[in-house]
Amino acid sequence: MQAFVGANHRPDEIENIEERIGIVIHKLKFIPDSQRTKVTYLRETAPWQFARETYVDQAIRLAGGIPQTDPSQADFAPEVLIILSDKPVANLLGELPATLSSSFWPDTNAVKNNQVYLIHHPEYLRTPGLYPADDVEILAEIINSGYFVYGRNEDVWMQFDLG
Could you read off the pLDDT of 61-76 as tens digits, one per residue? Answer: 999 999 998 888 888 9
pLDDT at 3 exceeding the cut of 80: no
- The Cβ of residue 60 has, within 10 Å, a number of other Cβ atoms equal to 30
| Residue in 37, 35, 42, 139 with CA at minimum distance from that of residue 85 | 42
pLDDT at position 1? 63
Whole-number pLDDT of residue 137: 97
By C-alpha distance, which of 58, 49, 32 is closest to 125? 58
pLDDT at residue 6 greater than cutoff 80: no
Number of domains in the chain: 1
| Average pLDDT for 20-40 | 95
Least confident of 42-56, 57-71, 123-137: 42-56
Q: Place 52 in a pLDDT band, splitting at 50, 70 and 90.
A: confident
Looking at the predicted structure, is the pLDDT value of residue 132 above 80? yes
Domain hosting 8: range is: 2-160
Mean per-residue pLDDT of the chain: 91
Lowest mean pLDDT among 9-18, 34-43, 115-124: 9-18
Could you tell me the CATH number of the domain that includes residue 93?
Answer: 3.40.50.1980
pLDDT (mean) for 85-99: 91
pLDDT at 7 > cutoff 80: no
Residue-wise over 125-142: b if at least 16 C-beta within 10 A, else e? bbebeebbbbbbbbbbbb
Q: What percent of the chain shows pLDDT beyond 70?
A: 98
Pairing of β 80-83 and β 157-160: unpaired
Is the pLDDT confidence value at 2 over 70? Answer: no
pLDDT of residue 9: 85
